[in-house]
Structure 1
Amino acid sequence: MTPIEELSAGLQGSRVVVDPESVEGYRRDEAHLVEPGRPLGVLLAESTDDVVEALRWATRHGIPVVPRGSGTGLAGGATAVDGCLVLSLARMTAIREVSAEDRLAVVEAGVITADVDRAAAKAGLMYAPDPSSHEISTVGGNLATNAGGLRCVKYGVTRDSVLGLEVVLADGRVVRTGRRTVKGVAGYDLTSLFVGSEGTLGVITGATLQLRPRPPAEPVTVVGSFPSLRAAGEAVASVVGAGLVPSLLELIDRATLKAIDDWKRTGLDTGTAAVLVAQADDVDAARCAAALGRHFEGAGADFVAVSTDPTEAAQLLDIRRLAYPATERLGRCLVEDVGVPRSKLPDMLEAVEAAGREHGVLIATVAHAGDGNLHPTFVFPPDPQGVPNAVWEAADAVFRAALDLGGTLTGEHGVGVLKKRWLELELGAESLQVHRSIKAALDPLSILNPGKVV
């Protein structure tokens, strides 16, 4: 009996896929520039017990395991390696509990992110994290990368909505971290350790998530267009410096607007250098929106509009979520997500523009601007040799500029495979060694998502 046949025989109900054509769909995530390996097979897990059995089996045989949800990651974190077991948690879709009294939900890792929010809405609550892929990404994938989203300027990233986790360690032990209470400081903060660890320390199978009251009314939306990227960045810095707290503050540059308009004929490509879309959703939303408009105008906006129409607001957010698929239509894409202090956003936007000019690379940029989190996408023609040197050089310039401004290599996509080469620049040698020590303690055989992060 082969190892993969042994695994299949030891499971109750779950399916182990070995047919090459079926396995093909599980080899990679959305980081198409990362070449995937050839797995032994794919386990479509349906319970935590299945994951326990799989990891015990993997430890016995020394077989690497690559966890995945929907495969929407953009850094290569769910890319298969040769000889691995791909462990899909997409069938673990139970929402076990929604408690209006305690404002929490208990869910399995395969639950679609937007489904958590829909379940919360029935109890008059909201699940705040909303990455652009919220209709297809899973909670487990969001937890693995500490995903952000459009609302994180006010409500925080995924980690800020996690109370506790269920995690299966490399040897099959099940650890439950955190608690159901608002406060709790007993022991180390293992919940925060596993969130963002990209499947390298354990496999997250479930989570207790914090829910929030839904906004009291439909948000008020503010749109502003700007003659330069720097002016848009200065508007964001002005909003933050004034202490305003929008629920959303997004930037779309001209290249992205043109890509969306060429595809969907939105009419938004008017030659403007950048557009900011903001929302306010509190009881004083109208006052906040008016103030946002004034800050846009003060930074040099050539057009500002305020709307309370929910249909119009939804259309604008749908356009923002089209940024990546629209840009993909232009060629191959290297999608990045640097973050800088919000006061440095104007400088970072200029640095992105300069990198594109210097290296002759088209860079289309959107941003969760209120967080200082930019998504520059480097676009280039398909090349059988892989990513052209000019693209890597432009990306290197962008990463180094972000670090020089006191920022980070990744705000929400994770390190995965694509950013490993730059990680020590941000962490430093000593910190990176601490990371490796933690990895060795929890995964001594290095079977969990090998080749990723550290």
Structure 2
Amino acid sequence: MDDDLSARLSERSPERSPEQSTQPPPEFPSAQGLVERLREGLPPEAVLTDPQVTASYATDMASFCAAGTPAAVVLPRTVDQVRHVMRTATALRVPVVPQGARTGLSGAANASEGCIVLSLVKMDRILEISAVDRIAVVEPGVVNAVLSRAVAEQGLYYPPDPSSWEQCTIGGNIGTASGGLCCVKYGVTAEYVLGLDVVLADGRLLRTGRRTAKGVAGYDLTRLFVGSEGSLGVVVGAVLALRPAPPRQLALAAEFPSVAAACEAVCAVMEAGLAPSLLELMDRTTVRAVNALGRMGLPESTEALLLAAFDTPDAPDGLAAVGRLCTAAGATAVVPAEDEAESELLLRARRMSLTALEALRPATMIDDVCVPRSRLAEMLDGTAAVAREYGLLIGVCAHAGDGNTHPVVCFDPADEDEARRARASFGAIMALGLELGGTITGEHGVGVLKKEWLARELGPVGLEMQRNVKRAFDPLGLLNPGKLF
């Protein structure tokens, strides 16, 4: 890396956060009859009706997704309280939008007009951690990072680690089937959810799955709920699989003269049978954005920066093998981090990518297209062509080992023409992903943002079957209406 890893990443500079903008909430009168019914089974502080407060729960972090104004926001602490909310909603035919920390990027947690927002953040207890069974039993409001640290104290590891892991909740992770930086080796959230407690639309409590290491009794309803975005039921508890804690990661950074060369290295690493715990890519725009936000000292002359890490006792050998493959693919520099602290700083730089790109322009649209690894270079080169065609700034960071790309369209929504081009480019990128045999979302979910594109990906028969499943669990269509399809 430039100047010996840019003077060891500028003496390990701290990360800075951009200022957040706020907009005044709309006024909305409370639905008194609904509120009175809710308060019959909830403590007064758990039912929020102040219009300014309820409006703050109306959206997640996605741009340009329609949202309504909630009639009320409820914050239950117990399963019985959630059941009361759903019974009330069914009796009064009021839609319910389940929410976690609202860090989602597809509008899946956006309020419907006149709905009950069911925020589960107060249900945040870790009920059990078993080193023998290698499981954790948690409520949905547990923050990902809190769980990760708690199990680490017992020598265990919960692998799913979305970039927002310090804020996002396990319930939200389950709702959107979240991934993260370590998916290339450890897989996504769905692979760690063994069982669920779910409150159905009519208030009944359903228990799915198991606590055992294996089990095939009946249909796999647990997997059905993972990624359902709160449209089939409200997750109120989860049994999660854990792994033994691995050694701390050691990482390297490799500079490339093109994204195509970096993608060639990714394919070579996977073809060689290596098992890095992380294999991430940042294009030039992303590298510069991260430096501007966090003064990280990454090399701005590179066209693509590839980060690889191993968490095994022979990590230096694995990094050496990756380094040789990167050099063979045309890397101009391959620099291993000197120690665990420097490795962690490299990973922090990657976690900053989306926030850094968001800071470049007043608004962003974040794509989440996943393609076969063998088509990754075509995806990134095609995205660059889209940026040129529409005259926009589009940075790309990617879970390269999965083929999961995050093109970030940066634009000014006050400029009508630029906003129009941003929307068009977003669609062009998703179309490109489908043409390459990919999917419109690898980990962010569909929500409001990608409803049209889900229909294109599934086709008419697939869409019909999905709607039939929805009707079976939610015949009145009360749970998170208007999402997915």
From 393, 396, 405, the counterpart of 2:436? 405
Q: Which residue number corresponds to residue 254 of structure 1?
A: 284
Q: Which residue number corresponds to residue 303 of structure 1?
A: 333
* Structure 2 residue 459 is matched with structure 1 residue 425: no
Matched residues in 2 for 1:437 and 1:163: separation? Answer: 25
Matched residues in 1 for 2:191 and 2:63: separation? Answer: 29
Select between 231-240 and 195-204 the one with higher mean Cα deviation: 231-240
Asked if the contact 1:18/1:42 (under 8 Å) is kept, the reply is yes
Matched residues in 2 for 1:262 and 1:284: separation? Answer: 35
Q: Which residue number corresponds to residue 181 of structure 1?
A: 212
| Amino acid of the structure 2 residue aligned with 1:271 | S
Counterpart of 2:369 in 1: which secondary structure? coil
Alignment of 1:176-255 (within 5 A): 176-215=207-246, 217-255=247-285
* Structure 2 residue 378 is matched with structure 1 residue 338: no
| Amino acid of the structure 2 residue aligned with 1:177 | T
Q: Could you report, residue by residue, the CA deviation over 1:271-322 in whole angstroms, capped at 9, with x for unpaired residues?
A: 2111011101123212111111111111111110123511101111111111
From 410, 421, 427, the counterpart of 1:379? 410
Q: Which residue number corresponds to residue 270 of structure 1?
A: 300
Q: Which residue number corresponds to residue 314 of structure 1?
A: 344
Alignment of 1:131-210 (within 5 A): 131-210=162-241
Matched residues in 2 for 1:68 and 1:384: separation? Answer: 32
Instruction: Tell me which stretches of 4 or more aligned residues in structure 1 moved more than 6 Å.
Output: none
Asked if the contact 1:33/1:386 (under 8 Å) is kept, the reply is no
Matched residues in 2 for 1:13 and 1:236: separation? Answer: 55
Asked if the contact 1:93/1:110 (under 8 Å) is kept, the reply is yes
Q: Which residue number corresponds to residue 349 of structure 1?
A: 380
* CA-atom RMSD in angstroms: 1.3
User: What displacement does 1:387 show?
Assistant: 7.2
User: What displacement does 1:248 show?
Assistant: 0.4
Unaligned stretches of 5+ residues in structure 1:
none
Asked if the contact 1:96/1:105 (under 8 Å) is kept, the reply is yes
Q: Which residue number corresponds to residue 89 of structure 2?
A: 58
Asked if the contact 1:367/1:374 (under 8 Å) is kept, the reply is yes
Q: 1:385/1:36 Cα in 2 relative to 1: closer, same or farther (>3 Å)?
A: farther
Residue-pair matches, total: 453
Matched residues in 2 for 1:115 and 1:33: separation? Answer: 31
User: What displacement does 1:265 show?
Assistant: 2.1
Q: Which residue number corresponds to residue 450 of structure 1?
A: 481
Alignment of 1:84-95 (within 5 A): 84-95=115-126
Q: Could you report, residue by residue, the CA deviation over 1:24-67 in whole angstroms, capped at 9, with x for unpaired residues?
A: 22111001322421110100111111110000100011100001
Asked if the contact 2:252/2:343 (under 8 Å) is kept, the reply is no
Q: Which residue number corresponds to residue 36 of structure 1?
A: 67
Unaligned stretches of 5+ residues in structure 2:
1-31
Q: 1:347/1:249 Cα in 2 relative to 1: closer, same or farther (>3 Å)?
A: same
Q: Which residue number corresponds to residue 135 of structure 2?
A: 104
Asked if the contact 1:126/1:211 (under 8 Å) is kept, the reply is yes
Q: Which residue number corresponds to residue 21 of structure 2?
A: none
Select between 269-278 and 186-195 the one with higher mean Cα deviation: 269-278
Counterpart of 1:2 in 2: which secondary structure? helix
Asked if the contact 2:143/2:170 (under 8 Å) is kept, the reply is yes
Matched residues in 2 for 1:131 and 1:386: separation? Answer: 33
Q: Which residue number corresponds to residue 325 of structure 1?
A: 355
Q: Which residue number corresponds to residue 324 of structure 2?
A: 294
Q: Which residue number corresponds to residue 24 of structure 2?
A: none
Matched residues in 2 for 1:427 and 1:73: separation? Answer: 22
Q: Which residue number corresponds to residue 14 of structure 2?
A: none
Instruction: Report sequence identity in percent.
Output: 51
Matched residues in 1 for 2:186 and 2:310: separation? Answer: 12
User: What displacement does 1:453 show?
Assistant: 0.4
Asked if the contact 2:367/2:430 (under 8 Å) is kept, the reply is no
Matched residues in 2 for 1:102 and 1:436: separation? Answer: 37
User: What displacement does 1:14 show?
Assistant: 5.8
Matched residues in 2 for 1:88 and 1:116: separation? Answer: 19
Q: 1:94/1:387 Cα in 2 relative to 1: closer, same or farther (>3 Å)?
A: farther
Asked if the contact 2:184/2:402 (under 8 Å) is kept, the reply is yes
Matched residues in 1 for 2:348 and 2:295: separation? Answer: 13
Q: 1:13/1:97 Cα in 2 relative to 1: closer, same or farther (>3 Å)?
A: farther
User: What displacement does 1:352 show?
Assistant: 0.8
From 271, 284, 309, the counterpart of 1:279? 309
| Structure-2-length-normalised TM-score | 0.91
User: What displacement does 1:20 show?
Assistant: 1.0
